[in-house]
DNA sequence: AATGAATGAGGCTTCATTCAT
DNA sequence: AATGAATGAAGCCTCATTCAT
């Protein structure tokens, strides 16, 4: 592991995984430490032995908890994507019928998730390609659902004449991108809180779609 | 190499490297094929032998042209970042003094670069962390310069009262993100041309900073 | 490995390592077989795979026991030097205060060690330069201590008028050399026993320093 | 090449090869630089490219002068052994019939050769085993002849009653060893000149064989 | 005489994984 | 649940050597 090559991807973060998603004992520790290492060095750059060492066990012992390294990554990506989807859906459900309010709610949730769990988000977006195809399919499905939630908001707002976008899919791409990249530069020592960033980005999204604010 | 795991990151692309940046002969071929493979499988997922095989030489022969695998990556990242910077600067120089025109020009260049050389852009953004620190420093400097060009436009437009942004750095982050992510989803078979995408994203950027359009 | 180039350095030997210094199991076997091969072909001429094959395991398995090839060499050199030092010190302690008796004791121990463990001695003297500097320091310290033991005997004998040498350091060099080279030509099929050689060389040393015998 | 591992074998020396033995031009330079590098890092530790670089040419160009790396080593070993033999024989011829004077002459020549060309001597004694068998045979013949010259002196002196040794072969081994090891510790910055060392060691040899001095 | 490019062989090492304990 | 030992595959890289230029 390249110790001199640290933190070019992501600064230190304390909360790694959403509460309630982490298993007990070694199983959970493996997940957190794998996340930390995958975020820092990439999936290929962190070995089973590295992870085990962080946990305080030996490499072989990891296999008492996960059948393979890919299973660990898959679980992380699943947790990340599901948490992200859940938050967006919950935000949307609470937002009421007004398209602008919906957009604000969804973008806030999207951005917030990436700022609150940046390691999870970085791994989810940067290490997807390391996941064998059989693991990727259901996770990509979740991702597509998340995107669809946002796309539907944009489309509906456009149809209702509240938004004005030349190309809904490009608007989706642009708005989604803002949030995704947050995970790559946000660190807890940033002078803005995740909430503040989420608020500003929600405003950006509204402007982007031409909503009156 | 995970053959079943192909193309989850990026679709096929024809032009890999900016003209004039590619050396002649094997040296240039190594660069292109490494780019293709790094984009597809990641730096760690593509071996020297894989690259050599694409070029039609043996692994050991790669070392007649580059002293290490990291040097190949470094050259790709340097080309990518310098081309990106050059385009943004050229666009800015041609744009005249009007902030909105400047923003449009810079964002178009930014987006266009990511759509025209998506592999280079993907590798530049996703494999930076694989580069040993001694190679990274000068490249990160170029990256910072590129960002500064855009940030200065945003700040000046804001000071002149042409733009209205609550937080110039967040605006930069948002606008930059849009373009960066283009490389991850754009493919030549997209129904939009790079120009069209660049135009729409430039419009998004203008809206985002509150410029009258 | 150059099979036609065998045994130009040293003839076959049965006991390789001092008893009590060899670890159990594969760890110990690796040490003995590495010693045999390093003595025969040099450090650079014996590969990890060669060693592993002699042990009956695969190359990768060597790394379950030693973190690198250099560590194996370092352990061999450490054992060799420490055993040598220990024997010389023990001999000196048992020799009483008389300089000539001390010289005889020390030289006998010195020669005996080289004749009894010729492979260890050959490797210790011929492969030192292959050891990375960080490993070499403590070992060279032991070597210096061994030399000092002999030098002190020579000096004291000279000061007491029992010996008569023009240059104590050269006497040390000459006497030490006799013993060191024994490892390069002595083989168990020699018509002399190690004891006999040690006795004769002790006599030579006495003559060399001008002690009355 | 391990730059931090320098000079653990031998200190810096200016004259590398006996005058008249070095070919002109690149051919000679290759020989000297190979000697320097083989002495420092061992035959296996110095590559053809390393040698070429010291000479100021490329690795491939070495093959315009020597058909293989082994040929370079062979030439060095041949030069070293022949020079050594020639000096011993010349010394013996000039010494007259008196055994003690013969011994002094031969030992002086032996020691002097090792102190004046320590690199050649180190390589000759430490890298012999790296030489393929077909090259080694004639060189070992020369070595045997050199030894015989000294052994014959010892035997004759003993038969004539001038010397008194319990075992002529062991006396040879001891006396030869003194000289051989000189190459490993002697450096031009030593406070003794090669002549002084040769004189002292000749005296040691006389004492060792029990010659009246 | 020298070189750039290429190569086959091989070196050390890491890694995910297995299995008996 | 954990471990030490082992392994096959593979990775990066070095090396002596060849050959056309």
pLDDT tens profile D25-45:
999 999 999 999 999 999 999
- Chain A residues lying within 8 Å of B174, measured CB to CB: 178, 201, 204
- Tell me the nt nearest to D56, Cα to C1': E2
- Kindly determine whether residue B185 and residue A207, on different chains, have CB atoms separated by under 8 Å: no
Distance CA D190, CA D207 (A): 24
The predicted pLDDT at position B142 comes to 98
Using one digit for the tens of pLDDT, what is the confidence trace for A170-212?
999 999 999 999 999 999 899 999 999 999 999 999 999 999 8
Strands, E assignment, D21-75 = none
- Chain D residues lying within 8 Å of C185, measured CB to CB: 173
The predicted pLDDT at position A78 comes to 97
pLDDT over 90 for what percent of chain D?
Answer: 87
**What average pLDDT does the structure give for chain D?**
93
- Predicted confidence (pLDDT) at residue A4 exceeds the cutoff of 70: no
Using one digit for the tens of pLDDT, what is the confidence trace for A43-82?
999 999 999 999 999 999 999 999 999 999 999 999 999 9
Indicate the angle between helix axes A133-159 and A99-116, nearest 10 degrees.
150
Instruction: Enter the tokens of residue C79.
Output: 């054992």
The predicted pLDDT at position D3 comes to 39
The predicted pLDDT at position A13 comes to 52
Instruction: Enter the tokens of residue C108.
Output: 């006998």
pLDDT band at A158 (very low <50, low <70, confident <90, very high): very high
Query: Angle B46-B51-B52 (CA atoms, 0-180°, nearest 5)?
Result: 145
Distance CA C59, CA C52 (A): 5
Distance CA D142, CA C112 (A): 30
Q: What is the DSSP letter of A117?
A: S
SS3 B22: coil
Contact (CB, 8 A) for A171 and A108: no
Those residues of chain B that have pLDDT short of 70 are: 1-14, 213
> Measured between CB atoms, does A70 come within 8 Å of chain B?
no
The predicted pLDDT at position A136 comes to 96
Asked whether strand F has any atom less than 7 Å from the CB of A63, the reply is yes
B–A contact: 3+ Cβ pairs < 8 A: yes
Instruction: Enter the tokens of residue D26.
Output: 């690149």
Q: Kindly report which amino acid residue has its CA closest to the C1' atom of nucleotide E4.
A: B64
- Kindly determine whether residue A5 and residue B182, on different chains, have CB atoms separated by under 8 Å: no
- Predicted confidence (pLDDT) at residue A2 exceeds the cutoff of 70: no
Q: How far from the centroid of its chain's Cα atoms is residue D19's Cα?
A: 15
Interface size, chain A vs chain B, as Cβ–Cβ contacts under 8 Å: 107
Contacts of C65 (CB under 8 A, 6+ apart): C26, C27, C30
- Kindly determine whether residue B181 and residue A181, on different chains, have CB atoms separated by under 8 Å: yes
What sign for the dihedral angle of Cα C160, C166, C169, C174?
negative
**Buried/exposed code over A42-73 (b: 16+ C-beta within 10 A; e: otherwise):** bbbbbebebbbebbebeeeebeebbeebeebb
Indicate the angle between helix axes C118-126 and C69-94, nearest 10 degrees.
120
Separation in Å, CA of A191 to nearest CA in chain B: 11
The predicted pLDDT at position B22 comes to 87
- Chain B residues lying within 8 Å of A203, measured CB to CB: 166
- Chain B residues lying within 8 Å of A5, measured CB to CB: 129, 131-133, 136
* Helix, strand, coil content of chain A in percent (nearest 5): 70, 0, 30
Contact (CB, 8 A) for D146 and D85: yes
Nearest CA in chain D to C131: D5
- Kindly determine whether residue C176 and residue D174, on different chains, have CB atoms separated by under 8 Å: no
- Predicted confidence (pLDDT) at residue D183 exceeds the cutoff of 70: yes
Nearest Cβ partner for C178 among D129, D174, D182: D174
CB atoms within 10 A of CB B53: 14
Asked whether strand F has any atom less than 7 Å from the CB of C25, the reply is yes
For strand F, list residues 53-92 of chain C whose Cβ lies within 7 Å of it: 57-61, 63-65
Walk along chain C (213 residues) in steps of 10 and give the mean pLDDT of each run.
42 72 93 96 96 97 98 98 98 98 98 96 95 96 98 98 98 98 94 97 98 83
SS3 C107: helix
Nearest CA in chain B to A40: B129
Chain E, protein-covered positions (CB within 7 A): 1-20
CB atoms within 10 A of CB A187: 12
Q: How far from the centroid of its chain's Cα atoms is residue A167's Cα?
A: 25
* Average pLDDT estimate for D112-134: 95
Strands, E assignment, D23-119 = none
Distance CA C177, CA C171 (A): 10
Task: Give all domains of chain C, ordered by start, each with its CATH number.
Answer: 8-62 (1.10.10.60), 69-208 (1.10.357.10)
Distance CA B50, CA B43 (A): 11
Nearest Cβ partner for A133 among B5, B44, B173: B5
Separation between the CA of D102 and the C1’ of F9 (whole angstroms): 65
* Average pLDDT estimate for A20-32: 92
Contacts of C24 (CB under 8 A, 6+ apart): none
Separation between the CA of C60 and the C1’ of E13 (whole angstroms): 8
pLDDT band at A122 (very low <50, low <70, confident <90, very high): very high
CB atoms within 10 A of CB A208: 28
DSSP annotation string for D115-134 = HHSHHHHHHHHHSGGGS-HH
Contacts of C120 (CB under 8 A, 6+ apart): C16, C17, C18, C35, C39, C76, C79, C80, C83, C183
Q: Which chains touch C (3 or more CB pairs under 8 A)?
A: D
Chain F, protein-covered positions (CB within 7 A): 1-20
Separation in Å, CA of B44 to nearest CA in chain A: 6
Contact (CB, 8 A) for B70 and B62: no
SS3 D211: coil
For strand F, list residues 184-213 of chain A whose Cβ lies within 7 Å of it: none
- Predicted confidence (pLDDT) at residue D13 exceeds the cutoff of 80: no
Nearest Cβ partner for C177 among D9, D133, D177: D177
For strand F, list residues 192-211 of chain D whose Cβ lies within 7 Å of it: none
């Amino acid at each position: 592991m390249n110790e001199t090559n640290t933190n070019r991807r992501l600064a230190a973060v304390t909360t790694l995984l959403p509460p309630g998603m982490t298993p007990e004992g070694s199983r959970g520790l493996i997940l957190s430490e794998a996340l930390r290492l995958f975020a820092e060095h990439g999936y290929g750059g962190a070995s089973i032995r590295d992870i085990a060492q962080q946990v305080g066990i030996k490499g072989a012992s990891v296999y008492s908890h996960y059948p393979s390294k890919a299973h660990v990554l898959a679980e992380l990506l699943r947790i990340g994507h599901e948490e992200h989807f859940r938050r967006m859906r919950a935000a949307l459900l609470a937002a009421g019928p007004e398209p602008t309010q919906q957009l604000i709610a969804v973008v806030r949730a999207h951005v917030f998730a990436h700022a609150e769990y940046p390691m999870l988000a970085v791994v989810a977006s940067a290490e997807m390609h390391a996941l064998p195809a059989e693991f990727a399919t259901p996770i990509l499905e979740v991702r597509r659902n998340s995107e669809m939630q946002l796309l539907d908001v944009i489309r509906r707002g456009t149809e209702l004449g509240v938004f004005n976008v030349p190309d809904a899919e490009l608007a989706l791409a642009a708005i989604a991108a803002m949030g995704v990249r947050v995970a790559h530069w946000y660190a807890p020592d940033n002078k803005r809180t995740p909430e503040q960033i989420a608020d500003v980005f929600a405003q950006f999204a509204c402007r982007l779609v031409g909503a009156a604010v």
